[in-house]
Structure 1
Amino acid sequence: MSQNPLLEVELYAFASNTAQFFLTPHEFDVDLDGNRYQSLAIERNELALGAEAAKAGLDLKLPPNCDVVRHLLANSLTGDTTSITLRIGRRDTWGDYWWISGTRWMGRVLGVEVADDVARVRCESAQVSLKRIGLRRLYSRKCSHVLYSAACGASPISASAIVSNSYGRNVDFDGGTPGSVSGGLAGGWLQTPAGARHMIVSDYGGGVELLYPVAFEVGTEVLLTVGCDHSTATCESRFGNLENFGGFPFIPTKNPFSGTPIF
């Protein structure tokens, strides 16, 4: 007896201001409504049933080297928001025609973490976002703007470098880190010729330490972009951008509701 063909698949649509990705965790691509959902190894957590399903968070596991993960990592540096929709596609029993039978989950990507063999993507339901009370922006001493975003307004400071050695999370350069960016790369990123960005944890004169291990061929030319510690001193001295500073550095340190009165 021959097996029945698969009649139902999950369909994931990622959309930001600059790109869209259509994916399915099944072993074949799906053409539907003019979009091709590319087959990709995707795992997700179990969603709640009934009325709570739409409110549940969505946690995905994807290959770390896929295009959508690279895009999400780049967006985490620029502050762009990526929405995600999980739909169910069905195929007619009498033909090969696919149609969307319903939407299982909608929301936005909160963040992405990359390990050696897997990328974990955390997503928040649209219902949770809409019901959140108050502003999302944090009230803090340091600036809450994403560096180089529209709200930040600072101009990127970058310099090119040639890779001389790559081992684990460390990358060395011919002649060391360029002087124009040396000492200020923590929180910035290293960009490859293909456009992939890798966050820099620190720089040590001869090279940089990345957030996670990446292998580079010797002689590769990369672009180094400086970071920011979100303090007023760095905002002024490094970027001359204090007028756009998004923090509140003069919050009183003394609590008026405890201790002696403030006169």
Structure 2
Amino acid sequence: MSQNPLEEVELYAFTSNSAQFHLTPHEFDVDLDGERYLSLPLQRNELALGAEAAKSALELKLPPDCALVRHLLAASLTGDTTSVALRIARKSDWGGDWWISGTRWLGRVLGVEIADDQARIRCESAQVSLKRIGLRRLYSRKCSHVLYSTACGASPISASAFVSNVYGRNVELDGGVPGSVSGGLAGGWLQTPDGARHMLIGETSDGVETLYPVAIAAGVEVQLVVGCDHGTQTCAARFGNLDNYGGFPAIPSKNPFSTGVF
């Protein structure tokens, strides 16, 4: 970080197919080239110096209730990739305008997680991903497809319900969870009328539990979308979609290099 934030600031630009976010970790907004970089309490890890800086992984910490985090959680369900650029801006000597003095880091968002009332965004350098040889799909027993994506091919299963009350992460529903989606909401999401999606981690006796605290007014009608544990049994029984299963459940559990062939 710069020792003099009034003369030099960091700017973050997040870009996906559906949204753009421009942020700065400093205590003031920055207007530059027609874009407004909004001030947000944002922290990052230390990057390597010199040429190795561009290859370093980037980890960001920020409030869990900001629009960027909500977008990334929704994008993780749809498979939408988000790129991120970290640039340095300096204030011009002849006026109060800002100008881009260089790019510190370029890459893409790998994932977002929320713990201890703080969101963590993990990012991979563009240099690292470009040097990776071959296909990028994971070779794993569990399916690696994003649920309801084109590669997945499953038809969404959903039901509507009315919110009766909200206590932090617990959302109570009139009449409880609808029977058509009951028992299958873990890993799915709750969608509000304005399009915001909140990931679900489970069901309660009278509603659902979200990944992070939400604020939804009583009486609002929401959509509950069924999730998936990416296993073969769920893929076949719940979605009838085993032909598109993207995992490799028959991978041998015995490693011949450590246990021997026989």
TM over 0.5: yes
Q: Find the aligned partners of 2:253 and 2:98 in 1 and give their Cα distance.
A: 61
**What code does the residue aligned with 2:232 have?**
T
Aligned partner of 2:240 in structure 1 is 240
Aligned partner of 1:23 in structure 2 is 23
Q: Find the aligned partners of 1:35 and 1:27 in 2 and give their Cα distance.
A: 17
**What code does the residue aligned with 2:202 have?**
S
Q: Find the aligned partners of 1:260 and 1:22 in 2 and give their Cα distance.
A: 55
Aligned partner of 2:109 in structure 1 is 109
Give a deviation string over 1:94-132, Cα, whole Å, max 9, x none. 113322111001111112122464322121211222223
Aligned partner of 1:147 in structure 2 is 147
**What code does the residue aligned with 1:141 have?**
R
Specify whether residues 174 and 138 from structure 1 end up closer, same or farther in structure 2 by C-alpha distance, changes over 3 A only: same
Superposed, which structure 2 residues align to 1:247-262 within 5 Å? 247-253=247-253, 258=259
Aligned partner of 2:159 in structure 1 is 159
Does structure 2 conserve the Cα–Cα contact (< 8 Å) formed by 1:182 and 1:205? no
The question of 1:81 aligning with 2:84 is answered no
**What code does the residue aligned with 2:187 have?**
G
Give a deviation string over 1:21-54, Cα, whole Å, max 9, x none. 1112223322222322222222222211112211
Q: Find the aligned partners of 2:176 and 2:110 in 1 and give their Cα distance.
A: 35
Q: Find the aligned partners of 1:260 and 1:24 in 2 and give their Cα distance.
A: 56
Does structure 1 conserve the Cα–Cα contact (< 8 Å) formed by 2:24 and 2:40? yes
Aligned partner of 2:122 in structure 1 is 122
Q: Find the aligned partners of 1:254 and 1:42 in 2 and give their Cα distance.
A: 44
Tell me whether 6-15 or 244-253 shows the greater mean CA deviation: 244-253
Identity of aligned residues (%): 77
Aligned length: 258
Superposed, which structure 2 residues align to 1:165-184 within 5 Å? 165-184=165-184
Does structure 1 conserve the Cα–Cα contact (< 8 Å) formed by 2:63 and 2:119? yes
Q: Find the aligned partners of 1:5 and 1:226 in 2 and give their Cα distance.
A: 46
Aligned partner of 1:38 in structure 2 is 38
Give SS of 2:71's match: helix
**What code does the residue aligned with 1:145 have?**
H
Give SS of 1:238's match: helix
Specify whether residues 127 and 260 from structure 1 end up closer, same or farther in structure 2 by C-alpha distance, changes over 3 A only: closer
How many Å apart are 1:249 and its aligned residue? 2.6
Q: Find the aligned partners of 1:122 and 1:5 in 2 and give their Cα distance.
A: 25
Q: Find the aligned partners of 1:177 and 1:79 in 2 and give their Cα distance.
A: 27
Q: Find the aligned partners of 1:177 and 1:167 in 2 and give their Cα distance.
A: 16
Q: Find the aligned partners of 1:132 and 1:157 in 2 and give their Cα distance.
A: 36
Specify whether residues 115 and 231 from structure 1 end up closer, same or farther in structure 2 by C-alpha distance, changes over 3 A only: closer
How many Å apart are 1:148 and its aligned residue? 1.1
Specify whether residues 102 and 260 from structure 1 end up closer, same or farther in structure 2 by C-alpha distance, changes over 3 A only: closer
Aligned partner of 1:59 in structure 2 is 59
Give a deviation string over 1:37-91, Cα, whole Å, max 9, x none. 2222222222111122111121212222221111111111222111100011122
The structure number with the bigger radius of gyration is: 1
**TM-score of the pair, normalised by structure 2:** 0.88
Tell me whether 181-190 or 249-258 shows the greater mean CA deviation: 249-258
Can you give the 5+ residue segments of structure 1 that lack an aligned partner in the other structure? Answer: none
RMSD (Å), alpha carbons: 2.3
**What code does the residue aligned with 1:120 have?**
R
Aligned partner of 1:231 in structure 2 is 231
**TM-score of the pair, normalised by structure 1:** 0.88
Give a deviation string over 1:117-160, Cα, whole Å, max 9, x none. 43221212112222234432122222110101121121211111
Specify whether residues 188 and 5 from structure 1 end up closer, same or farther in structure 2 by C-alpha distance, changes over 3 A only: closer
How many Å apart are 1:189 and its aligned residue? 0.8
